[in-house]
Amino acid sequence: MTDTPIYQQHLDKTPANFTPLSPLSYLERTAAVYPDYASVVYGDRRYTWAETYARCRRLTSALAGRGVGPGETVSIIAANIPELYEAHFGVPMAGAVLNAINTRLDAPIIAFILNHAEAKVLLVDPEFSGVVKQALGQVDHDILVIDIEDPSFDGGERLGNLTYEGLLDEGDPDFDWSLPADEWDAIALNYTSGTTGNPKGVVYHHRGAALNATSNILTWGMPQHSIYLWTLPMFHCNGWCFPWTMAANAGTSVCLRAVRDEPIYRAFRDEGVTHFCGAPIVLNMLANAPDHLKDFSQQIKVMTAGAPPPAKVIEAMEGMGVEVTHVYGLTETYGPSVVCAWKDEWNEKGAEDRAALKVRQGVKYVALSGLMVADPETMEPVPSDGETMGEIFMQGNIVMKGYLKNAEATDKAFKGGWFASGDLGVMHPDGYVALKDRSKDIIISGGENISSVEVEDTLYKHPAVMEAAVVARPDEKWGETPCAFVELKPQAEASETDIIAFCRDQMAHFKAPKTVVFGALPKTSTGKIQKFILRDRARELS
């Protein structure tokens, strides 16, 4: 007899029954099964899956030939173009870690990222050569700079002695690459926004990337060979893992350099787009676009996140035939990790009621193990009453490895076996989470908590309002009061008095804005409104 449990006797992991999970295997399979299907479209450039796989292997081979090895960082700063898509495979196939940099960052932050990540190679889109040139002057080590050439972009300058296509010419299209030895190996490095200091480097592993990529398909119910439009930046949480999703889906990625209403609607029509992702601000732009652009006939699905989308925006999108799926997540959770899973019985409700349900963030993704709303001090779950606020916590395989070279921040983020999101929300009786605010965005007025999200949702109901954001304005009497920043629709008119009165008619008076400022709202490249700028403006008003 032996004390070893029977299911541990002679039942070991071997190459026959175990390989590390990695989204890189999706590209290999799709290229073998669907070699002649369209993989990537960018204007006149059209690639098949066989061609994309060969280009990625050439990139892998060339990087290896240039001395890039496992665990080393390859950075790229680019718009949504085929080269950025290929880097999501070619870089990690070499064992290296892909660092896709936010294209809206300034030179000092780009330099910080290149230094902190110890980047060995930097691929540069000509559109961003100016700011990158400044950043390279602040980098403390040698970097191999590769210039991406894009004939469709007029401008930019060469920064290195080698082009991307020249690099690929050095590579072997039949290069014999391998999966990582350990699925816990890093695949990507993404930096947070860094609005309150230097950004933190969030490390993803192959296992999490593979699981979230397939979870996107399952959660969204994506049919095979879907046609996906890149309006979401591929640098943002690696495009919510959709570069790898589309390889698993054997679908087509339609690349788009600029996110504007006319080229988006043209892609809908000309390329037969079936799916796209975007922040609520992108949906709002499309909903308010001229009617003559909206001439597509197919069913289109959009996945939205970033900030709770106003119910009116959801209602407008679905009114023109675009089905909205609301998700929620963070850079630290590979992008979307919570979804407002739809139920057939809700289809019988009116448009306004359906939109109100879709505003909720929802339930955990297929790949997420745990989701709770809890008191951040005691870690006790709050009552599921839809009213008691707590912090949102997540747990599972699609939570980051941690922050690069920042053990203190990693330990702070991982609390009691959970990832602390820093977001505040409530748990409804049906188990659906609803986000109420970032902890830093809650307005405390006269001792009462006011959710900026709730006020914003009310503002979007005003017929003249195009975009809105609410922050705290310091107040001698109340401590803080809601200050609304509003951009009106073209040709629309409304006064501060009109906006405040409208809100007071819709909600408790103490929650209504006390100040309204009109004008364009500052945004990030992913469409998020930059509230830290608005907070500064609100403080200046006081």
pLDDT digits (tens, 9 = 90+) for 454-474: 898 899 999 999 999 999 998
CA-based Rg of the chain, rounded to a whole angstrom?
24
Answer whether residue 22 is part of any domain: no
pLDDT level of residue 300 (50, 70, 90 thresholds): very high
Task: List the beta strands (DSSP E) in 451-532.
Answer: 465-475, 479-488, 515-518
Give the pLDDT confidence of 352-407 residue by residue, as tens digits.
888 888 888 999 999 999 999 999 999 999 999 999 999 999 999 999 999 999 99
Q: Where do runs of H (alpha helix) occur along 320-446?
A: 351-358, 407-413
Query: Which tokens belong to 508?
Result: 């408790």
Answer whether residue 186 is part of any domain: no
Give the pLDDT confidence of 242-270 residue by residue, as tens digits.
999 999 999 999 999 988 999 999 999 99
- Look up residue 241 and give its amino acid: C
Scored b (16 or more CB within 10 A) or e, 489-511 reads eeeeebeeeebbebbeeeeeeeb
Q: Which of 99-103, 195-199, 386-390, 408-412 has the lowest mean pLDDT?
A: 195-199
Domain co-membership, 319 together with 362: yes
Answer whether residue 40 is part of any domain: no
pLDDT at 30 over 70: yes
pTM for the whole structure: 0.85
Share of the chain above pLDDT 70, in %: 96
Please tell me the total count of domains within the chain.
Answer: 3
What's the CATH number where 535 sits? 3.30.300.30
Give the pLDDT confidence of 229-241 residue by residue, as tens digits.
999 999 999 999 9
Whole-angstrom CA distances from 104 to 75, 132, 136, 355, 515 are 15, 11, 16, 32, 30
Domain co-membership, 133 together with 252: no
Domain co-membership, 242 together with 351: yes
What's the CATH number where 102 sits? 3.40.50.980
**Mean pLDDT, rounded, for 416-444:** 87
Answer whether residue 87 is part of any domain: yes
Domain co-membership, 133 together with 172: yes
Q: Are 97 and 74 in contact (CB under 8 A)?
A: yes
Q: Are 231 and 58 in contact (CB under 8 A)?
A: no
Domain co-membership, 408 together with 460: no
Q: How far apart are CA 130 and CA 56, in angstroms?
A: 27
Range of the domain at 167: 47-178
**Mean pLDDT, rounded, for 407-418:** 94
Beta-strand pair 363-364/335-339? antiparallel
3-state secondary structure (DSSP) of residue 268? helix
Q: Are 276 and 300 in contact (CB under 8 A)?
A: yes
* Residue among 88, 104, 107 nearest 96 (CA): 88
Domain co-membership, 423 together with 485: no
pLDDT level of residue 195 (50, 70, 90 thresholds): very low
pLDDT level of residue 196 (50, 70, 90 thresholds): very low
Q: How far apart are CA 246 and CA 440, in angstroms?
A: 35
Q: How far apart are CA 229 and CA 224, in angstroms?
A: 15
**Mean pLDDT, rounded, for 413-426:** 93
**Of 422, 438, 454, which marks where a domain is finished?**
438
Domain co-membership, 266 together with 359: yes
pLDDT at 344 over 80: yes
Chain CA centroid to CA 73, Å: 21
Q: Is 255 left (phi over 0), alpha (psi -120 to 50) or beta?
A: beta
Map tokens 């809908």 to a residue.
Answer: 268
Q: How far apart are CA 254 and CA 134, in angstroms?
A: 31
* Residue among 257, 250, 255, 278 nearest 336 (CA): 278
Q: Is 433 left (phi over 0), alpha (psi -120 to 50) or beta?
A: beta
**Mean pLDDT, rounded, for 41-60:** 97
pLDDT at 1 over 60: no
Give the pLDDT confidence of 139-179 residue by residue, as tens digits.
999 999 999 999 889 889 999 999 999 999 999 999 999 99
3-state secondary structure (DSSP) of residue 393? strand
The kind and range of the H/E element at 370 are strand 368-374
Whole-angstrom CA distances from 276 to 10, 12, 272 are 47, 42, 12
Q: How far apart are CA 326 and CA 70, in angstroms?
A: 37
3-state secondary structure (DSSP) of residue 111? helix
Query: Which tokens belong to 56?
Result: 């990625």
pLDDT at 198 over 90: no
Answer whether residue 520 is part of any domain: yes
Domain co-membership, 378 together with 463: no
Q: Are 205 and 230 in contact (CB under 8 A)?
A: no
Domain co-membership, 515 together with 412: no
Give the pLDDT confidence of 488-524 residue by residue, as tens digits.
999 899 999 999 999 999 887 878 999 999 999 998 7
Domain co-membership, 233 together with 360: yes
